[in-house]
Structure 1
């Protein structure tokens, strides 16, 4: 088992990564709790909820299941979780466990942050993608006009990452998670980048998976420790997300996976980075890797003006001026403000190029 410490401003917390952890959940709790509510989704609960409940020695353990998918990250689910917590008699010495992917972690964390003005919660991620969202303390729900528009910063008491729960992921979910790992590598670690770009995701083994997750979490933790409230360098973690979130909102949450759209967004950012900073960035290498690993790369036919309007909902936008996270090189992220006219040209050109490449195979 690997253990990483995140020294968050609110409080430090451990991240445990290994196999079979769910069977011994009590061993990783930071303290005793009066009662525990486990929140999971319909897919994950069928596989792992009984294991986690059996791994808890406490008497007052309750569970609640929400529908699987991004559509559950809404105000109705948030309200239902508060109702469940009240019905179960949770108090300020109780714990909520988020057992699932990023959606479960976000809506459960936001519930914990607001229930009785805040009680402890623990992240138990069951997707590769959630290695990113489970660390850093961002908790939120979506609004129809934008992703993660209603939320808070609220650090978990611990993260318990049983990689055995990742073995039931389909290829689409594996691709989604590895897009975020690729993002972290581009931001901060050339060695990790070179390791990832040489990989075939169809031949993933547990040793490599633990190694990659640990490294990705360490990169994320290192950034969050310096800038927990996203006032400065934490914004770099949004590489690929400005376009990705805009497309996610326009296409409907769940139409594509989050990671698939982040991958598209990273290619977009690399194109603009090449235009502004360097012709030496690995756009072609990354495009080839994404294509070979089955990522969808043909862009939907959406009016660039609509994409631009959604991009302006991004949290980095200031005074209606869009700031994109770009790269001067691997490990050299930067922010660049781009005017609307130039950005529309970039979007149109990118759509044409990506769709032409897809036709050519």
Structure 2
């Protein structure tokens, strides 16, 4: 691995998509450059900042001030915090507010927030006047390393996660690592699950580096910027090769088939954050891979041990309200997984492991095997 970045450094990662190539700017205090960067991209454009109430308390004024200093007019749309805003009603609220603000096709929507805000604002931008450009300003670790990059936008259906949406790439991502200082420990841990995912699915050396350096990442040391930049490079490379997930990009869903079902079973509530669901899902994917003889048990144990060491849940029984209907029922979880976007003609697709650092797409997985696997995991004691 290369040496970690210094705090004083910022780094730019390109997402290479031809004429739609855009930069991910990563570093401490880069939010103050937002206005200048937007002005350079879209001279004369107006903006609308979409954010949630919690982020607004910390960062809305700073973002608006940066835009104002660059002479950019900015209206504001504030939604409630959490997955409850990533709904039909939330989309209607944001869309109508953008129309009322007279955001035109040559203007910009600025998504200032975590994954929920980015997905919601990005989807609203994708459908507003048949497509308005937008800028991602991710304020959570999860959003900085995952949801702000790659152009997936959307909302949830009561029947499943992210079932309504569009591919709509941002024109810029500004990832200020200083904003992560305001996250709760639980929120930061949830985001870290997506960082670890990049090592597990495609970079064993990075996973080893995380095992040795996670304490510095959590404490806010220079390793934090290095982990974010490495994660963004990994995702950018995959997105550049497979923008619309017709093949390799599906690997980024490691842990998500199980995880999204668990999120739906818990009502997309704070009982289970997205990254927590991914952590449990990654362990389940590793254990299922071991059961199928694809990896040794020691490899699955290694994944579980690292996630548990940083404080993430790794077992179904650790999810709040585990005994409630939908979590302790293998058939109910199977029904939720049947709504997964990777299902093809009713057959399940999983991302499984051939090694720590090498994931594969497993098409047409036998449902009976998954059901029996889940029953066994549900029956084990805490």
TM bin (shorter chain): over 0.9
Given candidates 202, 209, 216, the residue that maps to 1:188 is 202
Which of 166, 170, 185 is the equivalent residue of 1:152? 166
Q: 8 Å contact 1:35–1:58 — kept in the other structure?
A: no
Which position in structure 2 is the counterpart of 1:6? 15
**Alignment partner of 2:366 out of 339, 349, 356:** 339
Q: How many residues align?
A: 355
Alpha-carbon separation, structure 2, partners of 1:10 and 1:71: 35
- Alpha-carbon distance, 1:292 to partner: 2.7
State the 1:154 CA deviation.
Answer: 0.5
Partner of 2:280: 264
CA contact (8 A) 1:78 1:111 kept: yes
**Rounded Cα–Cα distance in structure 2 between residues aligned with 1:59 and 1:216:** 31
Q: Which residue does the alignment assign to 1:15?
A: 24
List per-residue Cα deviations over 1:78-124 (Å, max 9, x = no partner). Answer: 11111111211111111100000000000000011110111110000
Q: How far apart, CA to CA, are the structure 2 residues paired with 1:33 and 1:230?
A: 34
Q: 1:288 is matched with which residue?
A: 305
Q: Could you tell me which residue of structure 1 aligns to residue 331 of structure 2?
A: 305
Q: Give distance in 2, aligned partners of 1:263 and 1:159.
A: 25
The answer to whether the 8 Å contact 2:207/2:357 transfers is no
The 5 A counterparts of 1:194-343 are 194-198=208-212, 199-200=214-215, 203-254=218-269, 255-276=271-292, 277-279=294-296, 282-299=299-316, 300-301=322-323, 302-336=328-362, 337-343=364-370
Return the TM-score normalized by structure 1: 0.95
Question: Which of these residues, 69, 77, 94, is aligned with residue 107 of structure 2?
Answer: 94
TM (norm. structure 2) is 0.90
SS of the residue 1:200 aligns to: helix
Tell me: CA distance 1:263–1:184, structure 2 relative to 1, closer, same or farther (3 Å): same
Is 1:46 the counterpart of 2:73? The answer is: no
Q: CA RMSD in A?
A: 1.5
* CA displacement, residues 243-287 of structure 1 (integer Å, 9 cap, x when unaligned): 100010011112211011101001111011112212165222222
Contact 1:20 1:162 (C-alpha < 8 Å) held by counterparts = yes
